A and B are shown apart, each in its own frame.
Chain A
Amino acid sequence: MIRLLKCEYLKTRHCFIFPTAFAITAICLCWCLYGDVDDEIIKYGWRMFLYQFPLVNAIFLPLLSMVIASRLCNLEHKGKMQKLLCCMEKRGKLFDAKLLYGLGIITVCVVLMWAVTVIFGVVNRFLGPFPIKLYLLYFIFTLIPTVVIYIFQHTLSMLFKNQAIAFFTGIIGEFIGIFSMFLPSLPFLRRMVLWGYYGVLQFVGLFGWTKESRYENAYFDLMPIDWTFFCVLICAGILLYLIGRYLFCKKEV
């Protein structure tokens, strides 16, 4: 597998995959962190981030997955390389190597986003100790939906030469995912699509907010974690991987 991963690295030279990934990460971080740090942010900062960031993640991380998967797989389609590579290595291994390489890039970006957020909180002296357990959970609940979405995008991009199919599906899913987060009265909607799981796994809520008093009596508090649907998401990821790998192995080049 190391040999195959080395090949993936060699393929991506000069095609700006890493700068693209880091650019999307940087835009996401700017969106989240740019602005004045007032007393309210310092007071509620740690939990406020855990409440606000899943929505931003639901916008940027599926986009990142879509772009990286598409760019990595399109390298093969553009140069008709699959027919050559399939004569040199088992198809399943080719599928796995590219998936692992893409997931590596995605994981680095998620870790980077997480680390910058934590550093931002520490530097701005957010009130209270750093809630490491909550932030580790947040990291897992950010990474896992992204990994599952990436597996889905990777499968589409590997199977279809026309990358518009992967893009179109990804964009539709992303829109449903984002809008499902604005419709808390329809929890089944966000549970039905992979892109909605940033919301399903959100465990900090805003309470006491009313139209009249707005944030005056509002506070952020923990909500119960939906472990059942976390398991459903993991199962969906495994299933998507197995289906994608099977279809790729069966595909005639």
Chain B
Amino acid sequence: MKEIVKTNGLTKKYGENLCVNNLNMTVTDTSIYGFLGPNGAGKSTTLKMLLGLVHPTKGEIDIFEKRVTDKNRISILKDIGSLIESPSYYGHLTAKENLKICQTLLDVPSSNIDEVLKIVRLDKQQSKKVSAFSLGMKQRLGLAYALLSFPKLLILDEPTNGLDPAGIHEMRELIRSLPQKYGMTVIVSSHLLSEIDQLADNIGIIANGKMMYQGTLSNLHDTDPSKTLEEIFLDLTGKEQSL
């Protein structure tokens, strides 16, 4: 299977603090990759490095089988949608006006705006100022930004943060439908095993910046059938409080 994302020895150091340590990550085509780890494990930093928002101290990143460099970064990113940490928005503008800015920047058809607003179910609130949105609505707007160009790869960093149970369910269903409907590959990060369990085809578990496990959930379970997935995850991460 085609490898959409492949990192080789990816490392990020802030002073003496090793945030991501020699990380080798492989994400295959049209799959959902769950990136799991406790808070502060290095998930967001890794995803930011994939997007070029943070410069790696060491290591290589290949996306769509191309080595990412400063020169080709933007042309590769044109095919990537992202939602990192909290959603981005201009509060004084409406949802539609917000998306119009990105549509202009990405140079994609303006019909995409209405389409993504429908997908994230914000079409009825498109004329409302974003500052008046609830956190869940802002999160959905963030997803709309990410989907705007119907990218080949979607990177979502804790997309269910701040959502109520109904919102989490809705978001999960939406993410699950993306590979089949639009042929997208999705990387979702979370610190909740239950969430990733219901979403991902493959998972990567990161703790203290190191990749502790990479593969399918069933294979992870097979490593010790006497234990629950949660127990195996805790053994790997060594941080009970994170769950």
A interface vs B, CB < 8 Å? 3-4, 6-7, 10-11, 13-15, 75, 78-81, 83-90, 250, 252-253
Contacts and interface: CB of A to CB of B under 8 A. Distances in A.
Interface centre among B74, B87, B100, B105 (most CB of A within 10 A): B105
Contacts of A6: 104
Contacts of B91: 78-79
B52 A84 contact: no
Given A89-B105, A253-B54, 4 more contacts: A14-B92, A79-B89, A86-B53, A90-B74
Contacts of B82: 84, 87
B51 A10 contact: no
7 contacts: A10-B104, A79-B130, A81-B89, A81-B90, A83-B48, A87-B53, A87-B82
A11 B90 contact: yes
Interface residues of B, number: 31
B181 to A, nearest CB: 23
A85 B145 CA distance: 11
Contacts of B58: none
B93 interface: yes
B106 interface: yes
Contacts, number: 74
Contacts of B107: 3
Interface centre among A78, A81, A88 (most CB of B within 10 A): A88
Contacts of A7: 101, 104-105
Contacts of B100: 10
Nearest to B53: A253
Contact of A10 (B88, B97, B106): B97
Q: Which 6 A-B pairs have the closest CB atoms?
A: A84-B88, A253-B53, A79-B89, A81-B88, A252-B54, A80-B88
Nearest to A75: B90
Contacts of A15: 92
B192 interface: no
B106 A87 contact: no
B21 to A, nearest CB: 18
Contacts of B104: 3, 6-7, 10
Contact of A84 (B54, B78, B93, B145): B145
Contact of B105 (A3, A83, A252): A3
